[in-house]
Structure 1
């Protein structure tokens, strides 16, 4: 079933309904969002008006709102008849959902997909009273909150759902919505919430048993286990205790096994907190609360024994310190679970129970270990799923330890071990297999667009050359990839050196180059620590050499004779922008936060960024040399001077960092493949680099305009004296230096102006203070 989904109707405008509507609109769909009318108030209209004010924003750009229309159930339910996809997202009550679906069916046209965003109510029960044809196109689509940012969608078909409809929704969610999809069984809370809720309840039980505090548990269950920094209780405060209790009660109510029913009994401390309104961040207090002491914010933790908030304690366990010092996650897990101190024993007990529970739930909640692992990684941001964790710990010895402690293994794991298979995943000849509960090996299927540098580098000969900051990797099909892997992917001499070496290799042996990596962020900028050290040592010749090399790199990328495609994502700041935007095409991830932020550390962009933004803004309008360029120079001055950072790739286009010809990958996992495919397409089309260009500037009269704006801002107290100095340096570059209006300057002349301004600012004590403050505090200093 090849479907083109263009129109969607979202039923419900609460937290999830409005956010799903926003993300469908992000993906380009026309969306109608419906909800009840209460008196004269349309709930959907109110929700629509609140979307731009939410943080983090569910919208790629405010312009996305133009694709969403608000209406009511009472007046606009006929919109269902024009939709390609209808998503129900009302209150989590079976009867209410059944009643609404009955009304939807009256307007539904055969073949239109209808799904429910329930987090755990039975899909079959929900649609039981609808017609057979309707049920064929009905399924669950459980988006994780917030839908724009969370990767997972659990897709839950019933026994009656058309497999082709399921496949169509899966393809659409992955390709258009940027999601990763896991097929789940129609069981309470499906996969991720089932395992995650169980794990948190076990954590609560073992926490009391081992006498640990809230902050100690968070220290033991966060990054050291490959989990998010929010760990256990900070996550629970963000989710909301009321939401968590509702999810836990859903399994407790429906569980038939007495042992499982007992495991999902909400602890008394949680019930008391719920009664007291201590439900988390939305109430201002949960397992943590923030209080002000002496003008400073202090975070306190809930102490159930005393029934009060107390100061957080520092978790001090030898096992925790040893695990933090371990190099790999596998080593961290083994160190922590094999330790005999209270922290290690707590972690082992919790982990053991989660591993066993996950194994016992197959095949009830999912068909295979892979679905469970992917659900936990994409829905809860775990680095390793339960079965991958088991492999990391060693299945054989972990199973023996469990049995020695009196635990019983599921029979399918006993059978697997008896057959000589000692891991759930196994690699053979470059392919990965996993084992099903019934014992057959099944190859892991990876769509080609989910290209992975990590997997490629395991192949012999894939890494063509490497140094401490970057590597050149063969992507196949005569395309190479320059991968950054310095700390925080900050650009230093090693990355620039590898760039120039890579260009020589690509020139001789490849069709083109992709610039990409799989770090947390694409690039946070230049190596600020190195720059500050050189400035404090008055090593101006070295700084000049560094800037010249950076400028040469950006120009080499721009004018290289073969296609170069950059693939930025996440934080792409300062020097990261300057290495990304000169590429023939930028294949950005939808979640790309791009900005030239150098003014925040007392400098201006000098790796080609100031020059490139000026030329882009003026090139698009200066066809005949007669257009007044001042408004466009003003725009570049404001964008750089205010260190504007996009909140998405779409907004990066609106800010001018990306061109209309640049592309956006909604699915981060497909970005590398998309970039590689773009290199091949450009090569096949006979790519030739752009011609060298010059730029008309507004000169000294234009600079006077910018300086007057700075003078007024300084007089109004909006900027500091040093801000004004930085602004004057930036204005000098953007207006062409000591040149008359309408003078034509070369790119190199603008680069020289950049470099001169940058060097002079490096010598300013207040700029050095800003650099030092950023390195120490991670935020700008206003001085």
Structure 2
């Protein structure tokens, strides 16, 4: 069996709790018909529990469904009446509560109904996979493993795969390909030990943080101030993260560690601190109950103060000394100063890292094949910029190891367990050119040779990893045209947030000139997110404030010329979008021959938010698409559908939603794994070229809705203005959007060309840009990152 022959047409998820329902949601995001099972309801519709769970998906934030209508693709079922339907399913994922006895009982019930080819998996976060496998018939054990999604499953990149003793390696390879490409996940293989890799290391890190919080007498807000972005971790840091997860859930995971790891040298710390248990006993379980370590009082955030035994206003921050240390770029210098400092916060941070490094090294051989799996599991599952081994290596492996040994000898570490011998064998770290260190093999091992990873031209790099950055064909200050040795050129921007300025505009046009001579296709692809935050507003505002209206008008005209150059290039230009594609970034992809968008693409024509309208050809393209869809008839219905999206500056919550909003075309491609985006986009560009690609013919007879269409749309705006839902300036902006989409002050049904619509766009854009209120909006957005309603 080849690595790609695990065919998944239909799936089942057992358990309609929050996690099971969200896994089902992500399966239907990926186009997989999914049956969601749970217990039969005691009253009314027997599928009532599942039906309610599906309805609740719409209330969750962030949204589990990439597009709301996909909820209808989840089929409700119950264990009493519908087990026979399991025979239709190629993949069955069990996601019920973390009770071994319940899981084993369910496995015995479902086993007779499974097809001979179905792959069965448990989404357990830490129970023994081999114990679960033993409850299955012998013939089924080769088709069983753990598949542990992290919450929320749509967004968290990590999936831990935990093979059982008898799991078929060929089936695992097929499963890995499915999870990677179809569901967009980063697969990490874990050993069958309690809590696997992510939660074992991640929860230990939280326990160590809690222990040292108490040891050094720090406030919970103080700890969060120094364990978030300041050390490369998410904004929610430690205690806010615990509140989001739920303190009862946290206590349950801690108890699982205590119950299942009695021999662990750190076992004495596997218990909820008294103050955590007290919060749970009071029903203060975190965000879901409105109070935990933090609670909201009006608009203010208060934090639990252990000394006062009450909440106080939050706001303690990093000390001046620690803030200065954390600002140091060199990790070795940073760690040396943390360890040497007498500041309590610095001592806390050193102790927290020391015990994390100690624990990770001691258990490496138990948890994973190499240090790579540990670092990626923590990065992808917990959102850290560097995993524990990467952090240690960056800080100076030998020196840090010496300090850890000194602290162990002095009784300062949480455990007296010795560091493994390999830690101090003269190495400089665990990530080297040959691969990542394997404690069980005693040598570094390379990345997986699985064929699915050939699709990742630039995988997520570990510390020190470098990938071929290609050969430059041409570049200027704004863009680089390069290639990877094939016939597809790649254009990448060089600006901050990949914004669009004159150098980018001129660069794209020149790059396409060069590509037409050298390549058979071009991909617009950025080396990191976002695709583009849109036009360089700061530069544009500078021109306006200097009174250089002609230069500003010329810049807008050049923007339009660039979009048109993309559209009418003699080689296919494919936009490879991930992350934000706002304003001009959205317009560039609208003009491309095809867009290939990662699922997590947030696309929008957002100019109305800063008092402008799309003027890089976006409104022209929408008017043209509406006319095309009308088949020569009245385009007003199509224009009306898009009008609200643009006037309200709506941004899609996913690439699938962007299709619903009309910002992506029906034949644009959605890719679930962002690391495969360049591969797919290059393949699409090559395929278009192989088909004998020609750009579209210029549109010279576009029927428009005219002044009647504009008047109809303005009537909608009058009602909103009178109801004070919009301001007079909002009304002006939206009216100009309506006028452009409808072709200006001409009769309904008149025919115009693209230049007519582009001129309308540009005129309205330049006039709006000269108004005081629009300039106030631009300045406010630049200063705060938030829109101004004036």
Residues 1:272 and 1:409: Cα distance change in structure 2 (over 3 Å): closer
Q: State the Cα deviation string for residues 263-308 of structure 1 (Å, max 9, x = none).
A: 212211111111112211111111111111xxxx111111112111
* Structure 1: distance between partners of 2:336 and 2:609: 42
Structure 2 matches for 1:156-305, cutoff 5 A? Answer: 156-257=162-263, 259-292=265-298, 297-305=299-307
Q: State the Cα deviation string for residues 80-123 of structure 1 (Å, max 9, x = none).
A: 11111111111111111111111001212222111111111112
**Which residue in the other structure is 1:33 paired with?**
36
Q: 1:387 aligns with which of 386, 389, 393?
A: 389
**Which residue in the other structure is 1:712 paired with?**
719
* Structure 2: distance between partners of 1:233 and 1:137: 39
**Which residue in the other structure is 2:506 paired with?**
497
**Which residue in the other structure is 2:344 paired with?**
342
Structure 2 matches for 1:19-168, cutoff 5 A? Answer: 19-41=22-44, 42-168=48-174
Q: Which stretch has the larger CA shift, 762-771 or 650-659?
A: 762-771
* Structure 2: distance between partners of 1:281 and 1:460: 44
Q: Is the 8 A contact 1:522 1:570 kept in 2?
A: yes
Residues 1:197 and 1:416: Cα distance change in structure 2 (over 3 Å): closer
Q: Is the 8 A contact 2:93 2:121 kept in 1?
A: yes
**Which residue in the other structure is 1:768 paired with?**
775
Q: Which stretch has the larger CA shift, 23-32 or 698-707?
A: 698-707
* Structure 2: distance between partners of 1:343 and 1:520: 33
* Structure 1: distance between partners of 2:581 and 2:332: 30
Structure 2 matches for 1:644-723, cutoff 5 A? Answer: 644-694=650-700, 695-723=702-730
Residues 1:233 and 1:476: Cα distance change in structure 2 (over 3 Å): farther
Q: State the Cα deviation string for residues 393-438 of structure 1 (Å, max 9, x = none).
A: 12122112222333599989634653x532211237xxx5545443
Deviation at 1:468? 5.5
- Indicate the SS of the match to 2:296: strand
* Structure 2: distance between partners of 1:158 and 1:410: 29
Deviation at 1:471? 3.2
**Which residue in the other structure is 1:506 paired with?**
515
Unaligned 5+ segments in structure 1 are: none
Residues 1:779 and 1:82: Cα distance change in structure 2 (over 3 Å): same
* Structure 1: distance between partners of 2:787 and 2:185: 34
**Which residue in the other structure is 1:17 paired with?**
20
* Structure 2: distance between partners of 1:424 and 1:703: 65
**1:736 equivalent in alignment to 2:739:** no
Equivalent residue pairs, number: 772
* Structure 2: distance between partners of 1:473 and 1:652: 29
**Which residue in the other structure is 2:412 paired with?**
none
Deviation at 1:648? 1.0
Q: State the Cα deviation string for residues 351-379 of structure 1 (Å, max 9, x = none).
A: 11111111111221111111111111111
Deviation at 1:244? 0.8
Structure 2 matches for 1:622-633, cutoff 5 A? Answer: 622=631, 625=632, 627-633=633-639
Q: Is the 8 A contact 1:547 1:755 kept in 2?
A: yes
**Which residue in the other structure is 1:580 paired with?**
589
Q: Is the 8 A contact 2:706 2:747 kept in 1?
A: yes
Residues 1:552 and 1:320: Cα distance change in structure 2 (over 3 Å): farther
Q: Which stretch has the larger CA shift, 512-521 or 645-654?
A: 512-521
Q: Which stretch has the larger CA shift, 213-222 or 470-479?
A: 470-479
Deviation at 1:442? 1.8
**Which residue in the other structure is 2:357 paired with?**
355
Q: Is the 8 A contact 2:460 2:675 kept in 1?
A: no
Unaligned 5+ segments in structure 2 are: 410-414
- TM (norm. structure 1) is 0.94
Q: Is the 8 A contact 1:481 1:515 kept in 2?
A: yes
- Indicate the SS of the match to 1:567: strand
Residues 1:218 and 1:497: Cα distance change in structure 2 (over 3 Å): farther
Deviation at 1:134? 2.1
Q: State the Cα deviation string for residues 651-688 of structure 1 (Å, max 9, x = none).
A: 11111111122101111111122112222222233222
Deviation at 1:196? 0.3
* Structure 2: distance between partners of 1:221 and 1:345: 13
Q: Is the 8 A contact 1:617 1:656 kept in 2?
A: no
**Which residue in the other structure is 1:594 paired with?**
603
Deviation at 1:582? 1.1
**Which residue in the other structure is 2:445 paired with?**
442
Q: Which stretch has the larger CA shift, 141-150 or 709-718?
A: 709-718
Q: State the Cα deviation string for residues 439-466 of structure 1 (Å, max 9, x = none).
A: 2232223612111289798647635555
RMSD across aligned C-alpha pairs, in angstroms?
A: 2.3
Deviation at 1:19? 0.5
Deviation at 1:742? 2.3
Deviation at 1:630? 1.6
* Structure 2: distance between partners of 1:680 and 1:733: 35
- TM (norm. structure 2) is 0.93
Q: Which stretch has the larger CA shift, 38-47 or 167-176?
A: 38-47
* Structure 1: distance between partners of 2:405 and 2:466: 38
- Indicate the SS of the match to 1:362: helix
- Indicate the SS of the match to 1:590: strand
Q: Which stretch has the larger CA shift, 252-261 or 214-223?
A: 252-261
Q: Is the 8 A contact 1:81 1:107 kept in 2?
A: yes
Deviation at 1:157? 1.3
Q: Is the 8 A contact 1:355 1:387 kept in 2?
A: yes
Residues 1:552 and 1:333: Cα distance change in structure 2 (over 3 Å): farther
Deviation at 1:173? 0.8
